Structure 1
């Protein structure tokens, strides 16, 4: 089936879930007008274009949200700067573009293509921190101590210049000694030093959080692969060293942002993951491996168990991680009153946390950016606590709807890939065994289906040989039997 058919299925799924699949003409006209007018530069803007800024993202990413640069200091400390695209400078509150973003609240990434939160004229061009372009940004300037703690942070607006757009896989392979440096890195000793310093800083930041219970999990997602507009495979999109590096930097910047808004006496929009309500299920899971967890939720003990399982069974750790992540449940957004610390994030081991580093892709980050800029300008908060509470509820709802759309389209894409392979056999791992059904995952293509025959006695983690018996692309059903 050609991509447009899958795309239409995605469009219908978006509409069913209350998401807008296309921009209204007014929003596109507004984006064009923003290009003609240029970014708003009111207020103090520092000139940091001369620093060695760079980005690391997916190979094909064009909506670049953040850059970073670091400086080693005496005594093992370091200065870490994270620059976040100043999207607010081009997207006015209450306009048509803001209205679309406020409905969807996120970009939706499906196997049929991306439905961006902002028109691509903005998100992949004018508000993207593109290589070789000057852009406005909001900078989180942090002092990272030798133990990985963030001792202090300053936030301000600045002009920045991306000197190198790098890709996760290439950087990770170079850091691991598995490949030569990417061309931009090979040509620049300064950039090589920057990446190695970033890698060391990320490790410190990560270890500091892990000593406080940040969970060390490994999950594997399926990445659609297209050739000439046709879906040809679903391959593993695994974490790697460069992805972890960026994630650790963004967690630090997001936590610093939340603390800044508390200090300014501003209300804020927080991201939190509460302590597991069904901790007993996690206790039972650990007990099945011979590990006794405390009666009360304890992230340090849980992470110790996870590290032991990673060491003892590296092949099965991704499946175990997935089970734990599902038991923890999804993160949520909530409003925090002025000057009050928000709820903590159980999985990240941070007490104050706000999404702020991806304003091209997530609406909460754009809202937080507007709060930051108002605080910097000495203005009143642009959102009341009640308005933030309503935004938080809507963003949590729409994030769930977007995830459902992505899963639905991925299942349909997987069924399309297998529609001509009925009767073939595959090696599989049991990923779910419950009264509602037994599910298995195959590796190539990476997808999950239901075991409709021969599931008796199958348990999570079992390795099986399965045969494909039926697919339904419209419903996203994939049925196997034990071979």
Structure 2
């Protein structure tokens, strides 16, 4: 139907808004449809009339035209507003489904006609009111449309009015059976969650004592919510179940979105193309025996330049992840979100899907792989004379374990290493001996804090706890990687290219004072004036080496140090005693390294997949996010080990152990067992009849009446009275007497009649994570 032109009624000569028809013209159907399209969700009959200057009796004609357009299916009415089919109303409900490359939430409308095609993406901004809960992925929110212009992936922009439903998500817990006639229930891992009845028809083959995740599927108004089991992880005694708790409690992403998996599966192997061909260089990967992905490969040879007599050339090739993970892709966004891979005793939660992490990017033995490599030249003192970066295609000559390489260099070869000793392994060790001279002269901080490892049985339960030997093979790879990282930082600085430094600040005055106070109890001093260097701490550690106080002093020095982090502002790396340092050598498992790779590609013109322009303004935020993700991963890894050991120790409640006081706080003592390295807690109130006060300077608890003292580092005998696998905590009873007059009384405390074993309960035990932790892994460089 064609629109009829009619004479405007009296009074229709008021001034219309810009872009409106002038008086005397009535809008055509196309005019109306254009206005509705340009103002989705905002165009009601009143707004249309105002825009086109339609008043009086002319509104009747407008009403009829809009009715005709509706009957023809060209417009729809939503809450007194007109929209085209497929457009969005001004206010609607959206499911929050993802985040864009800038970390902003993306939503999809809840009510969407599939016949209109794929639902549009909406950029969802938080509400203006502080009272509005912050929305997250999985939530459902009422939003108001604010703009119809495209923003990256989004076709619309909306602001949250109200979060209607927070994502219930999966609740993790232990399935418990009550007995005949009674419904099973979930004992949640999170002690803030209340118990949930589980629908007996929705057990999903789970058994009593299994770790499961449930979804609440029905909740009566007055009754207990009912839940359905959606996933079974198996016995709580298995590593998989325990690590699942860590993933859940720390909020670590561990399921790749379908878009990420699709991108990964589409990736194809790299051919030589414009790359340098390094396939004839016998590069080796040297890793732990159970490593699934291989970031780095190394080779070394003497420098034949007569002007560099006694010098060495070291090659370090690093997996070219940047080729496969391009800025702004789904793979890139997920890697940014995860920040790093997370390592548990029997599995890895990778930063990148397996197609990338342990296939296309893993430097597999005898297979062609793309790499970003650095060739470094050192003089006979180990000082680096120069370096160059190359984008190459390489082929690993062999995959060796640390122990395998170490044994070969010591004369115990196997079928693989016997052909590598002379031409490959010995040159590597010669180069390390050269670089070690410069390292020793540099004097980085040399903490000696062995890291405990867990050996699992085939069923995933703990077999034993051990401390692996630190070999020269470990130190060789570590020093080669450090030099490659320094080379990357120097190159990017010289090219004035943005980068994320790996920085480690010097200790704060407060921490140094605490260290001085502690050392004074051992008749040792820390210089009071001038800036401290790592060599000062090394001098202290050397004095206590091979003494009973060695481990204690190493731990206290560690606690006096700042934590390393990522930032675009360079303050140097105190622990390594380096002016500039960046992570370059592990892009498969660290997002920071991927950024450095992209920076090198951009700075050196090595491809079109380098660091994007404009990233400078975002690097500070990215550095903060991935530093936080790193700390989150370290906590999850440590919590998993603690829980596994607590599970392992449940059958040994009542047994006595020899240990050492590994931490002292106001509320009690942390104990580390000699046999296993397991950590537990002794509440101060259970030590004896005396009242014990905390002396922070000497790291001691001192009895008010007796003067009996328990100090950090003291050897003690303890009895295990409680093990709480949920909390990953052990509670001990002190059997040894404390020091009196500076000497430790060897007599044990009287054992209470009837034993001291107590029933296990989650709330009764003091978890070490509730206190200032006395132990930590050595800081990652």
Using the alignment, how far apart are the partners of 1:392 and 1:303 within structure 2? 30
Partner of 1:180: 412
Instruction: Identify the structure with the greater helix proportion.
Output: 1
Using the alignment, how far apart are the partners of 1:182 and 1:404 within structure 2? 38
Give the conservation status (yes or no) of the 8 Å contact 1:91–1:97.
yes
In the TM superposition, residue 201 of structure 1 has moved relative to its aligned partner by: 2.7
Using the alignment, how far apart are the partners of 1:303 and 1:309 within structure 2? 10
Residue 468 in 1 paired to residue 720 in 2?
yes
Partner of 1:124: 358
Q: What stretches of structure 2 of length at least 5 have no aligned partner? A: 1-233, 688-700, 702-707, 736-781
Using the alignment, how far apart are the partners of 1:290 and 1:151 within structure 2? 44
Residue 302 in 1 paired to residue 537 in 2?
yes
Using the alignment, how far apart are the partners of 1:40 and 1:279 within structure 2? 54
Give the conservation status (yes or no) of the 8 Å contact 1:218–1:239.
no
Aligned to 1:353, the other structure's residue is in SS state coil
Residues 344-355 of structure 1: pairs in structure 2 closer than 5 A: 344-355=572-583
1:194 aligned to 424, 428, 445, which one?
A: 424
Over aligned residue pairs, what C-alpha RMSD do you find?
Answer: 2.3
1:212 aligned to 409, 417, 442, which one?
A: 442
In the TM superposition, residue 41 of structure 1 has moved relative to its aligned partner by: 6.4
Structure 1 390/297 Cα, relative in aligned 2: closer, same or farther at 3 Å? same
Using the alignment, how far apart are the partners of 2:391 and 2:350 within structure 1? 25
Residue 375 in 1 paired to residue 603 in 2?
yes
Residue 459 in 1 paired to residue 711 in 2?
yes
Using the alignment, how far apart are the partners of 2:254 and 2:539 within structure 1? 43
Structure 1 3/66 Cα, relative in aligned 2: closer, same or farther at 3 Å? farther
Using the alignment, how far apart are the partners of 1:419 and 1:209 within structure 2? 45
1:77 aligned to 311, 334, 342, which one?
A: 311
The one-character-per-residue Cα deviations of 1:84-135 (angstroms, maximum 9, x if unpaired) are 0001112222222222211111111124632111112211111100111111
Give the conservation status (yes or no) of the 8 Å contact 2:320–2:371.
yes
Give the conservation status (yes or no) of the 8 Å contact 1:39–1:90.
no
Aligned to 1:68, the other structure's residue is in SS state strand
Using the alignment, how far apart are the partners of 2:262 and 2:333 within structure 1? 13
Residue 268 in 1 paired to residue 503 in 2?
no
Aligned to 1:461, the other structure's residue is in SS state coil
Using the alignment, how far apart are the partners of 2:596 and 2:573 within structure 1? 17
TM-score (norm 1): 0.91
Residue 437 in 1 paired to residue 631 in 2?
no
Residues 61-70 or 422-431, more deviating: 422-431
Structure 1 115/126 Cα, relative in aligned 2: closer, same or farther at 3 Å? same
In the TM superposition, residue 439 of structure 1 has moved relative to its aligned partner by: 1.1
TM-score (norm 2): 0.57
Structure 1 218/69 Cα, relative in aligned 2: closer, same or farther at 3 Å? same
Partner of 1:339: none
Using the alignment, how far apart are the partners of 1:125 and 1:319 within structure 2? 43
Using the alignment, how far apart are the partners of 2:427 and 2:265 within structure 1? 40
2:322 aligned to 88, 94, 98, which one?
A: 88
In the TM superposition, residue 319 of structure 1 has moved relative to its aligned partner by: 4.2
Aligned to 2:730, the other structure's residue is in SS state strand
Using the alignment, how far apart are the partners of 2:413 and 2:277 within structure 1? 30
The one-character-per-residue Cα deviations of 1:411-463 (angstroms, maximum 9, x if unpaired) are 11110111111111222122112224311112433321113444862222222
Q: What stretches of structure 1 of length at least 5 have no aligned partner? A: 337-341
Aligned to 1:432, the other structure's residue is in SS state strand
Using the alignment, how far apart are the partners of 2:236 and 2:341 within structure 1? 19
Structure 1 205/288 Cα, relative in aligned 2: closer, same or farther at 3 Å? farther
In the TM superposition, residue 148 of structure 1 has moved relative to its aligned partner by: 1.4
Aligned to 1:268, the other structure's residue is in SS state coil
Using the alignment, how far apart are the partners of 1:100 and 1:15 within structure 2? 18
- Tell which has more relative contact order, 1 or 2 (C-alpha 8 A, sep 6+): 1
Partner of 1:158: 392
Aligned length: 469
Using the alignment, how far apart are the partners of 1:239 and 1:23 within structure 2? 35
Partner of 2:729: 477
Structure 1 408/429 Cα, relative in aligned 2: closer, same or farther at 3 Å? same
Using the alignment, how far apart are the partners of 1:301 and 1:347 within structure 2? 12
1:328 aligned to 561, 571, 588, which one?
A: 561
Give the conservation status (yes or no) of the 8 Å contact 1:423–1:468.
yes
1:363 aligned to 567, 591, 594, which one?
A: 591
